Structure 1
Amino acid sequence: MSTTRRLKSYYRLLAALLQARSSFDFALPILPILARLGLAFPIAYLIHKTIQPMTSQSSKYKVLVIEKAVFNEDIMEVLGEMPEVQVFGLKRAVIKCVSLGILPKQICGDDCYITDDPVANRAKLDYRKLLFSIWSYLSLFRSYDAVLTGNWCYWAERELGAVLEHSNIPFIVLHKEGIKPPERSKILRNLFKTQRGQFTGRRVLVYQEDEKNHQVDGGIARDEQVICVGMPRMDRNHKWRRLAAAGKVPSRADRQTVLFLAFLPNNFLPSYSGIESDLAWEELCSGTYRAAIELANENPTYDVIIRPRIQEAPEVEILLNREGPQPENLKIVSEGEASPLIESSWVICGHNTTVLLEALASNKPVVVPHFGESLDPRYEGFNVELGDAVEHAISVEDLKTRIKRHCETPYAINEELSFAVTEALQKWTGNPDGNASERVRKAILHELTLLN
């Protein structure tokens, strides 16, 4: 690196130092500069300063979690009260910033990491070598017994798995999502073989058998690397249901509350993965949002809540506005956890989302819009089929009618789930019993005890 470029790097470092409000704020702009300079020790020190404890007790094992929305909920459900383990959190942005100092932009994406470009592949090796040095120094500040993340394919972490494995530190993936309709699974398996490559860490913990088959058949991991454990955060839905059935907690809000789980026209379709396609849930999407607005207008005593994924909230707002003005009793809630919304709702409506399954585990009535493109044979295989566990609305009017019926005559929360619901939970979440967290604990503890 020339003297001029080096001086510019130092000036940027000084500017960031002057503007920083916290170790995290300071680290983000500085880490790419330090990575380009190959300075592993100061990078390790900055990473150490950004790491925060997620549990307070000092324990035999220390586990580092690379944080991610929803994944954090699973982790705290599993490890939050596990006496053998102390959990520390590292924000994903920190790892990304280190990688951006070395990796070329064209491979900085989950779906474009695999490449034949020799320059990019040399950069990967350089990044791996730097991570090895960083981990060695980081271990001087605090020694970690395992590292957990939410998906095997996060591009900035791909080399980290190999580094940790070389250091005999388990790199464990606890997949934060696992529902893939059959056609989407088929598309992704083909993509993974050409664009994502293989998992280089120790173990992959998935929700259910379909996800395991998806990863093994897609060449992501070996059969013995993948363990089915179920959806950990669903344990609390099972627990809440039992408490509500026993009358120990309120089973719904005082006001009639309807929860619509928002979705976009490309939800789980080929274009969702960047593949050109004319398939789109246009009529289904439009009709569902129209039903929500009309329902709120026609029933001013109802609270109608639209729940989008936080990153999709602006697009959902646009889709809603197309269907008409939003009444005062309709609101969009994108932040916070979904569980309190499920618990307060009288009925839940949605399409292709795990939150519907969390609602079923809570023994809440679920209505799925099943009109428009859902009836088109071209879309067969792109629906998460829940069978008799849910009600299927065949039109906008039918959707409103079914929702109103549940608001007018709510049924009691039962401790026991129906066979249809249990079957759906087993297939899509691997957690029909509320014991997924215990299965994850056993799997993680097994890896930790092997270190001794």
Structure 2
Amino acid sequence: MFDLFIDKIRISLIYQAQKWPLRLLAAAGFYSLIAWYCGKQIDQANSLSRTKSKVGLFALCPERFRGDLEALESMPDFAIIRCPTSLAYLLNALYMQNKKDPDGNYHKSDYFLENRTNDFEKQKEKLTIFYSRLLPHLFKRYQIVAVLAPNFTMPQFDLIGVTAKGLGYPYVVLHREGLVTAPELIETNRRWINTAGRFPGSFVIVHNEILKTTLIESGYVSNKEIAALGCIRMDDLIERIEDSKKAAQQESEQKKLVLFSFTPGSGFVGISGAIHMKHFSEDRSTGLWRLFSAVHRVVGEIARDHPNIEVVVKTKWAEKWHGEIENIWRDAGIDFASMRNLHLTSSGDAHDLIFESTAISSYGSTTMIEAAIVGRPVIFPYFEEANYEEYQSYIFFRDHQDLFDIASSAEQYRDLLLERLYNNWNIAPGLLERRREVFDQYVSSIKGGALKRYVSEIHRLTSIEQINN
């Protein structure tokens, strides 16, 4: 705890050491010098081998794009210039200081229309003037033609994006949280619009028509400010499925179970109707703690009792998550450390795991429908808290349970997993077609090609701005 306290002081001192010289330079009008300093930070976050003939897309909060930037970068059209999130926060904090927060930070709710104070508006006006003078220098350095953000619910990045829009650079949101397979997810987007106001940027690209329709009908955007172009990272999955149809299929002797793990807060965290929920809440009476425990105990027991079956438990991150799972296994008498067929990992490609698998289990994730269209048996754990009436509006794919094997208890969950692992399972053509239709409806076009559509749309948007200017 003391070390964390010392680190916080050290970071704060470094932060202040950067902040005040930048404000003094801005007051003196030395924006080219500030742009040079920012450029040093940006260069460290980007490859120096960028082709100078490419125009640049300025990506805010780059770590949240989950592969989309790399995909865009693979095309010959654009260079991706990643703006470090720490730099964006530093620049915002030059003028945006919340007196009510111990660290001086404004939080997401402070940007809502009803919560904006006079101090907030005055500080925002000063910051807008600062960005309007800085960005032309910075964007010229990298031949920037547009600004990208990964989510329309991140108003702290609008401060840069909206100023850029006013200067003639399209501010485009490639919205990454596109899965709206539970009623509460749609309601969350509606609530966001009611509190945050209309979309301030130039254009929004979403994954599916359902979210597009929701945003238009709620008045967040007009029909001309949004497009549903699919999910870029699904292009690879579609291509691999097509390639697998052409290749000779060989049944592997190695049985492999993959559990795409979930947290006790999966499906709730970030949803406005469950604002109190956390992924691993101290209050174990809320969320899916019993389901989480039962599912991970069962897959661990299968690995222990069936050493011929390889079991992979894939999480999104390791901290806290892995510890909780290991505690469940320890309490169940599962010696995880000595078992070669039981793997707990936060790394690896989800699509690789799906294609290598014999059977898949998942909850509250697109991996459910991704594995489904590959033709794998997908076992959906639908028991314990998942049966609570008050949680039904948070259950992903609740209205499409016919696409999966539904387990109504821990015992049935174990039986279904073993049945699908040991008995060769061939998917019925009608079921595969229904799975493909749901994937197309909620996730991305079953025909693929999302990346090309994104590139084409960004070209169109940048061309319009060039014409208007």
TM-score range, shorter chain: 0.7 to 0.9
**AA aligned opposite 1:237:** L
Match of 1:65 among 43, 59, 64: 59
Number of the residue aligned with 2:299: 292
Cα 1:70/1:36, change in 2 over 3 Å: closer
Indicate the larger mover: 401-410 or 49-58.
49-58
TM-fit CA distance, 1:229: 0.6
- CA displacement 1:116-153 (0-9 Å, x = unmatched): 32112222222222222220220342221112221122
The residue type equivalent to 1:384 in the other structure is F
Query: How much has 1:418 moved relative to structure 2?
Result: 1.8
Q: Displacement of 1:191 after TM fit?
A: 4.2
Match of 2:224 in 1: 224
Q: List aligned pairs for 1:144-293, cutoff 5 A.
A: 144-180=144-180, 181-194=182-195, 196-247=196-247, 255-269=254-268, 273=272, 275-276=275-276, 280-293=287-300
Secondary structure of the 1:418 match is helix
Shift of 1:234: 0.5
Residues 394, 165 of structure 1: alpha-carbon distance in 2 compared, 3 angstrom cutoff? same
The residue that corresponds to 1:100 in the other structure is: 93
Q: What is the Cα deviation at residue 367 of structure 1?
A: 1.4
| Greater CA drift, 45-54 or 412-421 | 412-421
Once the two structures are overlaid, the 10-residue window that deviates more, 270-279 or 45-54, is 270-279
Query: 1:425 is matched with which residue?
Result: 439
Q: Which amino acid is the alignment partner of residue 260 of structure 1?
A: L
Corresponding residue of 2:81: 88
Structure 1 CA distance, aligned partners of 2:172 and 2:394?
A: 29
What secondary structure does 1:200 align onto? coil
Q: Report the secondary structure of 2:214's partner residue.
A: helix
Structure 1 residue 68: Cα displacement: 3.4
> 316-325 or 150-159, which moves further after superposition?
316-325
CA 1:275/1:87 → structure 2, altered by over 3 Å: closer, same or farther? closer
> Is contact 2:153–2:192 with CA below 8 Å preserved after alignment?
no
Conservation of the 8 A alpha-carbon contact between 1:363 and 1:417: no
Three-state SS of the structure 2 residue aligned to 1:232 is coil
Q: Residues 355, 302 of structure 1: CA spacing in aligned structure 2 closer, same or farther, 3 A cutoff?
A: same
**Does structure 1 residue 408 correspond to structure 2 residue 422?**
yes
State how far apart, in whole Å, the 2-side matches of 1:360 and 1:83 are.
Answer: 33
Correspondent of 2:70 among 60, 72, 76 = 76
| In structure 2, distance between residues paired with 1:244 and 1:434 | 15
| TM-score between the two structures when normalised by the length of structure 1 | 0.83
Q: Which residue of 2 aligns with 1:109?
A: 107
Instruction: Tell me how many residue pairs correspond in the alignment.
Output: 425
CA distance in 2, matches of 1:218, 1:229: 20
Residue 369 of structure 1, CA deviation: 0.6
Paired residues of 1:229 and 1:436 also in contact (CA < 8 A): yes
**Structure 1 residue ranges without an equivalent (≥5):** 1-11, 17-27
Give the superposition deviation at 1:182: 0.8
The verdict on how the C-alpha distance between 1:247 and 1:85 changes in structure 2, with shifts beyond 3 A counting, is: same
Contact 2:185-2:271 within 8 A present in 1 as well: no
Please report how far the alpha carbon of residue 163 of structure 1 lies from its aligned counterpart in structure 2 after TM superposition: 0.8
- Structure 2 CA distance for partners of 1:409 and 1:243, relative to 1, 3 Å: farther
Mean alpha-carbon deviation: is it higher for 385-394 or for 47-56?
47-56
Q: Distance between the aligned counterparts of 1:166 and 1:43, measured in 2?
A: 20
Q: CA deviation at 1:426?
A: 1.9
User: Shift of residue 172 of structure 1?
Assistant: 0.9
- Which residue number corresponds to residue 455 of structure 2? 441
In structure 1, C-alpha distance between the alignment counterparts of 2:229 and 2:373, rounded to whole Å: 16
Q: Match of 2:39? A: 48
- The answer as to whether partners of 1:389 and 1:421 remain within 8 angstroms in 2 is yes
Identity %: 20
TM-score by length of 2: 0.80
CA distance in 2, matches of 1:126, 1:218: 31
Q: Find the aligned partners of 1:292 and 1:112 in 2 and give their Cα distance.
A: 43
Specify the SS of the correspondent of 2:67: helix
Residues 369-378 or 173-182, more deviating: 369-378
Q: Say which of 313, 318, 340 aligns to 1:306.
A: 313
Q: C-alpha distance in 2, partners of 1:303/1:198?
A: 50
Alignment-derived partner of residue 138 in structure 1? 138
Deviation string, structure 1 residues 60-100 (Cα, Å, up to 9, x no partner): 532222353462412333x2342232333233232122223
Q: Which residue of 2 aligns with 1:384?
A: 396
> How far did 1:217 drift?
4.5
Shift of 1:204: 0.4
Q: For the aligned residues, what is the CA RMSD?
A: 3.2
TM superposition shift of 1:270? 6.8
* Equivalent pair of 1:36/1:101 in contact (CA under 8 Å): yes
2:386 pairs with 1:374: yes
TM-superposition CA deviations, 1:258-306 (whole Å, max 9, x none): 2212222222237755624775223322221122221221122222222
Residue among 391, 394, 417 paired with 2:408: 394
Shift of 1:206: 0.2
Q: In the alignment, which residue of structure 2 is the partner of 1:8? A: none
Asked if 1:334 is matched to 2:346, the reply is: yes
> Relative to structure 2, which stretch is displaced further, 149-158 or 275-284?
275-284
Which amino acid in 1 is paired with 2:153? C
SS of 2:233's equivalent in the other structure is: helix
User: 1:3 corresponds to which residue?
Assistant: none
The Cα shift of 1:380 comes to 1.9
* Paired AA for residue 256 in structure 1: K
Whole-Å separation in 1 of the counterparts to 2:378 and 2:159: 42
Q: Which residue of 2 aligns with 1:118?
A: 118
Contact 1:241 1:415 in 2 (8 A): no
